[in-house]
Structure 1
């Protein structure tokens, strides 16, 4: 992703200090991480659009909401915010990294993550206070803990171009990508469940990758195998419980994201196949 540079005094409201969760004296040249809350605009429905901007240096990368087998999943806690009723992150489509036989998904140098914020009381500012746990990688992977705080001012109506551009980088919907049918088969295995999805859709370009999300944070989904035959894409993955406990998979809660060289598509739910 290209670094977005712009000078607008009211856009960036807060810079945070980042503390690496790594013992000092390790001999590792740590990256300089900066993160900011970026002012956006208020929608006609009263919800506010802003962004979390994470800037790294020197080719370091951080991870998408589902990092893949070679990554560290991000965690965000906004519970100490004021006048906040809800917050949704609109993740741009990630870059695919294949290193040492493992596939991961993320962003190099910068992540501008759009946020849709629902205030408790419309028409008033929202004070965002977040605790973030992210992974950053360059040859090695390091977990970072970050605190961030900043205000989103109510009543702003001008569209912030960088945030709008990041929102345009989200995966296409199934309708936009002309997905005509999605069916899933779920079968028990010795240690979990095997999910196999058949998707009728045009090629997303080049080699296609896929990520299956279950909606259950206690489940781990192994790297998916992907194959294509004409207009039909097959995605299969094994799902395990992190504590080896029994579990149930709900097809309607699944999200399948297909990532190609031309575009990505996010498919919500599937029918029994």
Structure 2
């Protein structure tokens, strides 16, 4: 990366900072490649499955892994890389990228904005919880951590997704590249390896022309949601959990709420 491009990538990363309450995901122009072909993957931040590319920075990434039939290993990325992953893949099958961030922070100047966010993500009656803790409804902090996973097909794309030990994650229970999805794609939402019951999954569906539709479903009593999908479309699934931060994190980030964001991206063959 040339110095000029690196500086531009750095600048775009800082421009992105106010947007970080929006979705964060792993994206690519091609989720299906031939064996030996490159996968170029980006980390993105935005809304409605549209956003800006975030360059790779060591202080932001807590975990960056690639997984194929041979197992899992860390991705070696350089400061300022965008795409964050751009390599040829010789192993046929399902290929997974995982990107977890370190906790970051934002400040809400007034309650209305946080309330709108809470309603959008179906957190329930957060205001009552907020007041019960004796918290100010102005100038309060939220800390957030992102857990993004992307599923890609190399050659046949054969294989299966699985729980990868993320604190919160969405697991595809069928392979979007090889299985019959005429009845939909079942996914399971996990928090600390336990099913998230009655949790909202937001579905972002993007056509090849870039048009996006957004809908939501709820998980059942096993933490499973059925996602309606279409052949040739790309999907971002999003689930967000709200909790009180532990004392150390609250003090470190000066925050009274913590959110954990799970994202899963894939394409349907």
Q: TM-score, normalised by structure 2?
A: 0.32
Greater fraction helix: 2
Could you say which structure has the larger radius of gyration?
1
Greater fraction strand: 1
Q: TM-score, normalised by structure 1?
A: 0.32
